């Protein structure tokens, strides 16, 4: 019978539902060696026991596990391993978090308004004479240009 107060044994052992008995035993041994506390060891032992001893219990856990669940993504681990960041030690001045009292509101307002109100003198000559549309006719217009278009 499924224990509702504990996680799915496949999740604990980080195995797919199609895992063989040998894979279950091997993974349980590996996780038992890596366990950080007594509770983790007991959880791994319980999960392995649930999947090894009774086929009906294992089938129940298989039915309630999401299909094609993979708890170990080896492709991601292969990619991420060479690109992990090294630990850096920042100077103390970068570790201090500024507070609201550290901000000068007048200086901040001056910077913001200075950027908003800064503009260049417009070039009206370019706007008037530099039109991208070239007129079809030149002044003065002839009578046929006015009548015939």
Q: What would the pLDDT profile of 87-110 be if each residue is shown by its tens digit?
A: 777 777 777 777 878 888 898 888
Ranges 4-8, 69-73, 144-148: which has the least confidence: 69-73
User: Does residue 22 sit within a domain?
Assistant: yes
Q: How many domains does the chain have?
A: 1
Burial class (CB in 10 A: 0-12, 13-18, 19+), 98: exposed
User: Does residue 26 sit within a domain?
Assistant: yes
Structure-model confidence comparison of residues 130 and 13, the more confident one:
13
User: Does residue 14 sit within a domain?
Assistant: yes
The pLDDT value given to residue 6: 82
Burial class (CB in 10 A: 0-12, 13-18, 19+), 47: buried
The answer to whether residues 9 and 51 touch, using CB atoms and an 8 Å cutoff, is yes
The pLDDT value given to residue 72: 65
Note the helical H segments in the chain: 9-13, 21-34, 38-53, 55-63, 74-80, 92-95, 105-117, 124-129, 143-148
pLDDT-derived band at 71, boundaries 50, 70, 90: low
Q: What would the pLDDT profile of 2-61 be if each residue is shown by its tens digit?
A: 777 788 888 888 888 888 999 999 999 998 888 889 999 999 999 999 999 888 888 888
User: Does residue 147 sit within a domain?
Assistant: no
User: Does residue 21 sit within a domain?
Assistant: yes
Domain range for 41: 9-67
Q: Is 52 helix (H, G, I), strand (E, B) or coil?
A: helix
Reply yes or no on whether the pLDDT at 149 is more than 70. no
User: Does residue 1 sit within a domain?
Assistant: no
The pLDDT value given to residue 28: 92
Cα distance between residue 9 and residue 53, in whole Å = 13
Structure-model confidence comparison of residues 57 and 81, the more confident one:
57
The pLDDT value given to residue 29: 92
Structure-model confidence comparison of residues 57 and 142, the more confident one:
57
Query: Which one-letter DSSP state was computed for residue 103?
Result: -
User: Does residue 134 sit within a domain?
Assistant: no
The pLDDT value given to residue 48: 93
User: Does residue 42 sit within a domain?
Assistant: yes
């Amino acid at each position: 019978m499924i224990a509702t107060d504990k996680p799915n044994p496949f999740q604990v052992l980080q195995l797919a539902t199609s895992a063989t008995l040998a894979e279950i035993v091997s993974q349980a041994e590996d996780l038992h060696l890596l366990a950080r506390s007594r509770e983790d060891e007991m959880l791994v032992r319980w999960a392995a026991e649930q999947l090894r001893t009774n086929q009906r219990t294992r089938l129940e856990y298989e039915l309630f596990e999401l299909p094609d669940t993979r708890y170990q993504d080896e492709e991601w681990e292969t990619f991420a391993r060479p690109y992990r960041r090294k630990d850096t030690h920042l100077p103390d001045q970068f570790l201090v978090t500024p507070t609201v009292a550290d901000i000068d509101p007048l200086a901040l307002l001056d910077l913001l308004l200075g950027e908003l109100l800064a503009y260049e003198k417009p070039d009206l000559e370019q706007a008037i004479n530099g039109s991208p549309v070239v007129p079809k006719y030149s002044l003065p217009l002839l009578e046929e240009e006015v009548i015939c278009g």
